């Protein structure tokens, strides 16, 4: 094998190759160089993010990122390692992991977590290093062109572009707290939310929707989409507590799928905690097909 070196990430110069690495390791990913760079820059200082890339023949073949979960208490760190499929089983992942773990240990967090799509090699890599499964999500795919259910005309559904982003943020923050997770989100700062969602290059302002009840947004479904890739990702769906169980999540998701079908998107991915019965029920009704598990492993520090 050509010699492999590990160096610091250079976000601007590496953006295209880093996005390619993500697409190669998780083929349902929705990203590109501009989107990746925008989101990377949105990560706040308090995350104390550490990034290294493995390079062979001038090409990024792997990467590690580690830092504190910045919407949480600062008690939990996350660690992620990616290696291109054709460069696996040569020690690249182990070398990157060791560097990331060293950084994680320096952060003073109580626990480290790592999310990845479940696979035999991935699970044995993690368990051999002392990690255990803490929770899991169902990964599901939908071809939006196959959805036949008609939207309920009684629900006032409007594209995100026509809504006040403060309202979308309010529902996102409020309902994210009700989503099953290892660590509850404490607060999502509005400006940071705009950076991560509203201003992201692949955030679909016309393909994301809110349901309005008595003049206020009650339910949202946020879609990231790349017409170039022909793929979308359902980033988040939430209905405020007092409006649940009346079909609002179904209505906003139906609107996103109809937009996607009309805009060249042939696949939408969504990931939902395996215990999130209402969200899984909505997705089943829309025709999402489960196709794997995205697991979150944890290591006590």
Ligand X SMILES: CC(C)(COP(=O)(O)OP(=O)(O)OC[C@H]1O[C@@H](n2cnc3c(N)ncnc32)[C@H](O)[C@@H]1OP(=O)(O)O)[C@@H](O)C(=O)NCCC(=O)NCCS
Question: Which residue in 270, 275, 267, 261 sits closest to 292, CA to CA?
Answer: 270
Q: Would you say 63 or 271 has its CB closer to ligand X? A: 271
State the minimum distance, in angstroms, from the CB of residue 229 to ligand X: 21
- Can you say whether residue 278 is alpha, beta or left, with left for phi > 0 and alpha for psi between -120 and 50 degrees? alpha
Q: Would you say 16 or 151 has its CB closer to ligand X? A: 151
Q: How far is CA 111 from the centre of its chain?
A: 20
| Structure tokens belonging to residue 199 | 């201003």
State the minimum distance, in angstroms, from the CB of residue 223 to ligand X: 13
DSSP state of 150: P
DSSP state of 155: S
Neighbours of 167 (CB within 10 A): 16
State the minimum distance, in angstroms, from the CB of residue 169 to ligand X: 14
Calculate ∠ Cα 290-202-233, nearest 5°.
5
Q: Would you say 32 or 78 has its CB closer to ligand X? A: 78
Sign, Cα dihedral of 195, 196, 198, 203: positive
On whether the CB atoms of residues 76 and 112 are closer than 8 A, the answer is yes
Q: Would you say 68 or 139 has its CB closer to ligand X? A: 139
State the minimum distance, in angstroms, from the CB of residue 253 to ligand X: 8
Q: Would you say 95 or 271 has its CB closer to ligand X? A: 271
How many angstroms separate the CA atoms of 35 and 28, rounded? Answer: 15
Q: Would you say 1 or 281 has its CB closer to ligand X? A: 281
Instruction: Indicate the pairing of strand 267-273 with strand 231-239.
Output: parallel
Q: Would you say 50 or 236 has its CB closer to ligand X? A: 236
State the minimum distance, in angstroms, from the CB of residue 280 to ligand X: 8
Considering just the CA atoms, what is the radius of gyration of the chain in Å? 19
- The residues binding ligand X (CB under 6 A) are 175, 178-179, 219, 236-239, 244-250, 272, 276-279, 281-282, 285
How many angstroms separate the CA atoms of 185 and 167, rounded? Answer: 18
Question: Which residue in 21, 133, 169, 140 sits closest to 82, CA to CA?
Answer: 21
State the minimum distance, in angstroms, from the CB of residue 294 to ligand X: 11
State the minimum distance, in angstroms, from the CB of residue 164 to ligand X: 19
């Amino acid at each position: 094998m050509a010699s492999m070196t590990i160096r610091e990430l250079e976000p601007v110069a590496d953006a295209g190759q880093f996005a390619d690495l993500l697409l190669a390791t998780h083929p349902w990913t929705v990203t590109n160089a501009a989107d990746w760079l925008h989101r990377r820059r949105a990560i706040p200082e308090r995350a104390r993010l550490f990034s290294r890339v493995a390079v062979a023949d001038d090409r990024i073949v792997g990467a590690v990122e580690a830092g504190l979960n910045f919407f949480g208490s600062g008690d939990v760190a996350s660690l992620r390692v990616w290696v291109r499929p054709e460069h696996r089983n040569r020690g690249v992942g182990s070398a990157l992991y060791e560097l990331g773990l060293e950084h994680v240990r320096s952060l003073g967090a109580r626990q480290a977590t790592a999310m990845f799509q479940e696979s035999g090699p991935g699970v044995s890599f993690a368990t051999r290093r002392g990690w255990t499964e803490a929770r899991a999500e169902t990964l599901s795919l939908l071809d939006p062109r196959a959805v036949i259910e008609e939207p309920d005309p009684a629900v006032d559904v409007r594209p995100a572009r026509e809504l006040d982003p403060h309202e979308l943020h309010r529902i996102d923050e409020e309902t994210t707290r009700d989503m099953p997770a290892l660590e509850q989100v404490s607060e999502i700062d509005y400006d940071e939310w705009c950076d991560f969602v509203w201003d992201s290059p692949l955030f679909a302002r016309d393909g994301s929707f809110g349901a309005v009840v008595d003049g206020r947004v009650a339910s949202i479904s946020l879609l990231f989409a790349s017409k170039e890739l022909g793929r979308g990702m359902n980033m988040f769906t939430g209905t405020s507590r007092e409006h649940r169980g009346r079909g609002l999540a179904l209505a906003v998701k139906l609107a996103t799928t109809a937009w996607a079908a009309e805009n060249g998107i042939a696949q939408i991915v969504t990931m939902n905690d395996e215990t999130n019965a209402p969200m899984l029920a909505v997705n089943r009704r829309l025709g999402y097909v489960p196709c794997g598990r995205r697991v979150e492993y944890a290591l006590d520090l």
